[in-house]
Amino acid sequence: MSLKDQITEDMKNAMRAKDAPRLSTIRMLLAAIKQREVDERIVLDDAAVVAIVDRTIKQRKDSIAAFESAGRTDLVDKESAELTVLQAYLPARLSADEVAAAVAAIVTELGASGPGDMGRVMAAVKTQLAGKADMGAMSSAVKAALAK
């Protein structure tokens, strides 16, 4: 079963359980998936769906930070609940050590050295570790690997 099918099935289960917060979050995610499919006239694979989930999670984290600074605990709670639902659709994340090891292997494979190769290394890292690690963690690992 594809990730998109799993999300659709979870939406049906949330409807049956009358779980309104979970249902609205899943509907929002499916709308984002459908929007991209319609815009680009393609059917998304699991990697593309994970990228959408990742982007949506980043938006929720940014919103939580903004609402916390504004003292809006009601909205922080809502966004946190959505974040919890969305994180269930991400694959298991790599630890910082695993990301550093993977980045080191990619740097060696590409023969990169110095900050000038950052773009080339990041492109390779994005394709190989997409959905498996946070982009911030990948970026800092690449910077550390190229600084050696």
Give ranges for CATH 1.10.10.410 in the chain: 96-147
Query: What CATH class is the domain 96-147?
Result: mainly alpha
* pLDDT at position 107: 86
pLDDT in tens, 38-91: 999 999 998 899 989 989 999 999 999 999 999 999 999 999 999 999 999 988
Could you tell me the CA-to-CA distances from 92 to 24, 33, 85, 130, 143 in Å, in that order?
24, 21, 15, 12, 23
Instruction: Look up the pTM and report it.
Output: 0.78
Closest CA to 101 of 127, 76, 65, 129: 129
Alpha helices by DSSP H, listed for the chain, are: 3-17, 20-40, 46-70, 73-87, 96-110, 118-129, 135-147
Q: What is the CATH number of domain 3-87?
A: 1.10.1510.10
Closest CA to 46 of 59, 33, 61, 27: 33
- What percentage of the chain exceeds 70 in pLDDT? 100
Q: Which of 2-11, 28-37, 139-148 is least confident?
A: 139-148
